[in-house]
Amino acid sequence: MLNIARCSLFAVVLLVLLAHACVPSTASDAGALTNPVARFAESHFARHGAKLPTRQFLAALRAAAVDTRHLSCRKSLVLLGMANEEALEHTVPLFLESLRRVPVTDGKHGGRSLDQHLVLVAWSGAALAACQALNSRYGHTCVRDAEHTAATGSFGFHDAGFNSLGFAKIKYILNGLSAGHDVVFLDTDIIVLQDPLPYFLGRGADMWGSMEKCMIYPDRMSFHSTEFQAFHKKLPPINIGVLYFKATAGVTRCVYSWLMEMYTEVLNRPRVWDQDLYGKVMVKCTALHELRWQVLDPRLFQSACFPGCGCSFSDSDMTDPERVGKFAKGHRPDRQGRCSPEHFSSWLMRHFPCSGLTHQKAKLMTGLMEGFFNSTSAVITRNRRRQ
């Protein structure tokens, strides 16, 4: 009887072990069974965490880094972007053209155009070839990330390809910081109009995010400062089309937490969104590490989601407790839907979300670039109201 009992116990234990063997034991197995976004995300991770940068990526960073010692104690900064074939056909050439027209204003690399300080990550072999073809006119550095498996096609809002982008984006930022460079990440549906580096490095921020809406917030105050806390205002919605990160231990730790929070959530939430988790993670992490997390002035870093001809308010509004946290109306276009140079002459750049499909964005981006550099009125906003 004792032997029978032992055999029965052994059989039960064996069944339990087999059952556990059939249950995913790692995040990758669980993700593969639950949703395609988790499978795409898995390509950016190894057993130790986020995959290390390739030698090609590190070499690209070194080649593109701009010397920033004339602006701060920071040694170098690199511009980062990423693109697939569709973006490389429509928006990337305009993005690069705008960077080519803007010189670094001072320092060791003063006079060099900003396109020479951009690392552009391509995902597919075809995208890499398209990126390199643009080197006949522009000075950017191309590098391929073959690990990103959601590499081709057009991405709709919150489809699997769209939600997978964040894992690639944060990995590039993390690997740029770990190489010792400050990082400015730019979406490629952006027109850069003037050198933004003095702004990024001249206001004491450890991290910058851009405004999602045309709202009044002080750009020189950290969200965790006593000055900002005295306003008793909620944090604004942050857009991550334009981001700055200082290459310090605390900032790098927060970026890693952002990436790992994405990785944890994607297993049960396929619609995990890098922009959503950016705010949730950073509000805690930056406070813990006593980092200066600040928001870019929407009058200088404009968005096509802002009404009319861009966001506008007075400097005094940013220190007025009655105005901070409120929406601003901005400028109106003319009867032809055009914005004039007086509206956009002071802008540093404009991001083009809320502008339709990629080829539709390209048309509006072209309008702004021609209007700015030729000092003429231009249509730069989709679905404008006729006055």
Q: What pLDDT, on the 0 to 100 scale, is given for residue 167?
A: 87
246-251 contacts, C-beta under 8 A, 24 or more apart: 246/74, 246/182, 246/205, 246/206, 246/207, 247/74, 247/176, 247/177, 247/180, 247/181, 247/182, 247/183, 248/206, 248/291, 250/206, 250/286, 250/289, 250/290, 250/291, 251/177, 251/206, 251/207, 251/289, 251/291
Q: Look at residues 352, 381, 312, 298 and name the one whose alpha carbon lies nearest to residue 98.
A: 352
Q: How far is CA 188 from CA 25, 80, 86, 120, 302, in A?
A: 38, 10, 11, 9, 14
Q: What pLDDT, on the 0 to 100 scale, is given for residue 49?
A: 87
381 belongs to a structural domain: no
Q: What pLDDT, on the 0 to 100 scale, is given for residue 173?
A: 98
Q: What pLDDT, on the 0 to 100 scale, is given for residue 274?
A: 83
Helix axes 274-288, 160-178, angle to 10 degrees: 30
320 belongs to a structural domain: no
369 belongs to a structural domain: no
60 belongs to a structural domain: yes
Which residues in the chain show pLDDT less than 70?
1-34, 36-37, 149-163, 269-270, 383-387
Q: Look at residues 15, 75, 22, 45 and name the one whose alpha carbon lies nearest to residue 262.
A: 45
Cα–Cα distance, 214 to 301 (Å, whole number): 10
365 belongs to a structural domain: no
| Domain that includes residue 270, residue range | 26-214+238-306
Q: Look at residues 348, 352, 324, 372 and name the one whose alpha carbon lies nearest to residue 208.
A: 348
Q: What pLDDT, on the 0 to 100 scale, is given for residue 264?
A: 87
246 belongs to a structural domain: yes
Give the CATH number, domain containing residue 288.
3.90.550
Mean pLDDT of the chain: 88
Burial class (CB in 10 A: 0-12, 13-18, 19+), 157: exposed
Q: What pLDDT, on the 0 to 100 scale, is given for residue 73?
A: 87
Q: What pLDDT, on the 0 to 100 scale, is given for residue 156?
A: 56
Q: Name the token pair of 235.
A: 């944090």
Question: Into how many domains does the chain fold?
Answer: 1
Q: Name the token pair of 325.
A: 């946290």
Cα–Cα distance, 72 to 198 (Å, whole number): 9
What are the residues whose beta carbons fall under 8 Å from the beta carbon of 52, sequence distance 6 or more? Answer: 46, 175
379 belongs to a structural domain: no
203 belongs to a structural domain: yes
Q: What pLDDT, on the 0 to 100 scale, is given for residue 159?
A: 53
